[in-house]
Amino acid sequence: MRIVSLCVDGIQQAAERGLYQWLDGQDADIICLQDLRALEYELDHKQFHPDGYFAYFFDSGVENTGGVAIYTRRQPKALIHGLGFASGVDMEGRYLQVDFERISVGSLLAPRASDDPQSQPKKDKFFDDLQAHLNKISRKRRDFIFCGDWAMAHRDLDVQNPDSHHQAPGFLAHERQWMDQLFNQLEYTDAFRQVNRDPDEHTWWPSGEIGRGDGWRVDHQVVSNALSSRIEYGAAYKTKAFSSHLPLILDYDLEL
């Protein structure tokens, strides 16, 4: 099973840059997109509904902001919009999940901290609630694959010139500690790092242009530990840019 995930910085712009033509040649079973910057009714055009896929969208409710999508070759048994946090802070980002017999796949757009002094506390609350959610579902008899822009890099290996960014949102000490807990106490696996340890593998450039400035690896496919031995291949596609992020391609020894 192949899963392709990408934060598109606007699905219409990415389409103009050839995203769907590229996806057509990837033979992906599931495609997870984030930051659509379009409302669902704006995506009625045929190009946003590629042949052979069931298409699902969860927009932000506000024009030109956020939103996520999942394309899947197999129709899911259930569809979940949002994470259902009692605080409501999950709507600071967006999350869409498709459930199959024993596996669930989610497309996640985490909130990003900005110049607004309230944005970092809101982001921290989102991840506090997400941690509790991930701990809760770890007791379910199913496995999970969470794809998306997590708005955080984990280790020095994942950021160019890390010493220059230790005070930057997305690479703060408590954010890196959160990811330590995700992969240790909560028993999830960074699927890409399971099969690719290269130090120059980045997926996002804050400058907005791939290769310009320092690259970060903030796009992840995070999987239940039970799936860690099923990860066969992982790569970031670097040949053509569709946004300020690179597509992340993971192959799993799995069938839905």
The pLDDT tens digits of the residues spanning 159-190 come to: 999 999 999 999 999 999 999 999 999 999 99
Q: What is the pLDDT of residue 88?
A: 80
Higher pLDDT, 84 or 234: 234
Average pLDDT in the 64-79 region?
Answer: 95
What confidence category does residue 114 fall into, taking pLDDT thresholds of 50, 70 and 90?
A: confident
Average pLDDT in the 122-130 region?
Answer: 95
Give the β-pairing of 143-149 and 103-109: parallel
Q: What is the pLDDT of residue 10?
A: 97
What confidence category does residue 69 fall into, taking pLDDT thresholds of 50, 70 and 90?
A: very high
- Give the model confidence (pLDDT) of 7-66 as tens digits: 999 999 999 999 999 999 999 999 999 999 999 999 999 999 999 999 999 998 888 889
- Give the model confidence (pLDDT) of 231-241 as tens digits: 999 999 999 99
What percent of the chain stands above pLDDT 70? 100
Q: What is the pLDDT of residue 199?
A: 83
Q: What is the pLDDT of residue 90?
A: 79
What confidence category does residue 91 fall into, taking pLDDT thresholds of 50, 70 and 90?
A: confident
What percent of the chain stands above pLDDT 90? 86
What's this model's pTM, rounded to 2 decimal places? Answer: 0.96
Q: What is the pLDDT of residue 220?
A: 98
What phi, psi does 180 have (nearest 5°)? -55, -45
Average pLDDT in the 218-231 region?
Answer: 97
Q: What is the pLDDT of residue 165?
A: 95
CA atoms within 13 A on the CB side of 188: 26
- Give the model confidence (pLDDT) of 102-111 as tens digits: 999 999 999 9
Residue type, 94: R
> 62-66, 125-129, 215-219: which range is least confident on average?
62-66
200: pLDDT strictly greater than 90: no
